[in-house]
């Protein structure tokens, strides 16, 4: 590339966020090559104040030289930062539990389905840990739902200290939670679940003191349905509660 047009484009490239530059270049090249009637791309660009803003760029080359190279492009750039922020907020709402900030049941189920397909394809392993806070109804009845909500958030914060960034943690319902542990055997998952149980048992929470939880641990088996896997781990939590609560039950399948 050479000439005034490409010198301008080269200076523009320096302002575009590195992660967005390939997409912008692809859209522009598609127009230059005649495969698109006009050029359109969304990308982050460095503002004069130093921060990144999202912009929607639309344009069309209106003058070419005798060799078929572009000379002038006419177009507009629209600041779409507010729209992008709203989109991100809506996406977060669709993925996360409002109270605790971790994944919600719907999104976790989608992640689990994807991981099951990946496991079948690449022969990888993963395990599930599900747990239910013991006697949580008594917490709500005794201290009120506001305190109950605080307990849920405190429990989530504690459990987060035991899992990896690559694991998926979700609120399954009420006081029930589930964790997807990638590349983890049931033996490893059981050790982790026991450490979580001990952490909860030995931690005094504001206003309510110590709380305990009942855990179920199971690993995915080849060609198992999502419903069968979830039922197995849920049954294990139920077994833990029937056996006195505050314990871990493991399915060695």
**DSSP letter string, 81-94:** HHHHHHHHHHHHHH
105 burial via Cβ count (<10 Å: 0-12, 13-18, 19+): middle
The CA distance from 180 to 115, in Å, is 9
How far lies 78's CA from each of 44, 55, 56, in Å? 11, 5, 5
The CA distance from 109 to 31, in Å, is 40
Residue 92, phi then psi, degrees to nearest 5: -65, -40
- SS3 call for 120: helix
Bridge partners of 181, per DSSP, are 127
Q: What is the CATH number of domain 96-250?
A: 3.30.70.270
Task: Give the 3-state DSSP-derived string for 205-251, with helices as H, strands as E and coil as C.
Answer: ECCCEECCEEEEEEECCCCCCHHHHHHHHHHHHHHHHHCCCCCEEEC
What is the mean pLDDT of the segment spanning 201-228?
A: 96
Residue 47, phi then psi, degrees to nearest 5: -75, 160
Model confidence at 1, pLDDT cuts 50, 70, 90, reads: very low
Comparing C-alpha atoms, which of 88, 17, 13 is closest to residue 52? 17
| Active-site amino acid positions | 175
What is the mean pLDDT of the segment spanning 76-81?
A: 95
Does CATH number 3.30.450.20 belong to domain 4-86? yes
Look over the chain and give the mean of its residue pLDDT values, rounded to a whole number.
Answer: 94
Query: What is the pLDDT, as a whole number, of residue 6?
Result: 64
Model confidence at 152, pLDDT cuts 50, 70, 90, reads: very high
Query: What is the pLDDT, as a whole number, of residue 2?
Result: 45
Query: What is the pLDDT, as a whole number, of residue 139?
Result: 97
What residue spans define the domains of the chain? 4-86, 96-250
Model confidence at 12, pLDDT cuts 50, 70, 90, reads: confident
How far lies 82's CA from each of 34, 44, 54, 79, 139, in Å? 32, 13, 8, 8, 41
Q: Is the pLDDT of residue 3 over 70?
A: no
Question: How long is the chain?
Answer: 253
* Predicted structure pTM score: 0.77
Tokens of 248: 């871990």
Q: What angle do CA 208, 212, 229 make, to 5 degrees?
A: 135
Model confidence at 4, pLDDT cuts 50, 70, 90, reads: low
pLDDT greater at residue 223 or residue 54: 54
Residue 98: its H or E element: none
Residue whose token pair is 């572009």: 70
102-143, pLDDT tens digit by residue?
Answer: 999 999 999 999 999 999 999 999 999 999 999 999 999 999
The CA distance from 20 to 153, in Å, is 36
Query: What is the pLDDT, as a whole number, of residue 253?
Result: 58
Q: What angle do CA 181, 196, 113 make, to 5 degrees?
A: 25
């Amino acid at each position: 590339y050479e000439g005034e047009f490409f010198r301008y484009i080269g200076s523009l490239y320096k302002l575009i966020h590195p992660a967005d530059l390939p997409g912008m270049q692809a859209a522009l090249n598609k127009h230059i090559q005649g495969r698109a009637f006009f050029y359109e791309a969304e990308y982050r660009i460095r503002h004069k104040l130093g921060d990144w803003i999202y912009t929607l760029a639309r344009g069309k080359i209106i003058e070419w030289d005798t060799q078929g190279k572009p000379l002038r492009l006419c177009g507009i750039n629209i600041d779409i930062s507010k729209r992008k922020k709203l989109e991100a907020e809506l996406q977060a709402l669709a993925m996360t539990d409002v109270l605790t900030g971790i994944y919600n049941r719907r999104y976790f189920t989608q992640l689990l389905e994807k991981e099951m397909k990946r496991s079948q394809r690449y022969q990888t392993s993963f395990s599930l840990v599900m747990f239910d806070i013991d006697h949580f109804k008594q917490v709500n009845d005794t201290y009120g739902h506001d305190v109950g909500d605080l307990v849920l958030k405190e429990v989530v914060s504690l459990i987060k200290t035991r899992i990896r960034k690559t694991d998926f943690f979700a609120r399954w319902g009420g006081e029930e939670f589930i964790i997807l542990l990638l590349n983890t055997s049931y033996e490893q998952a059981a050790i982790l679940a026991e450490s979580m149980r001990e952490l909860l048992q030995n931690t005094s929470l504001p206003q309510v003191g110590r709380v305990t939880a009942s855990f179920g641990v199971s690993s995915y088996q080849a060609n198992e349905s999502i419903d069968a896997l979830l039922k197995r781990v849920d049954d294990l939590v139920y077994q833990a509660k029937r056996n006195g609560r505050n314990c871990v039950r493991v399915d060695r399948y």
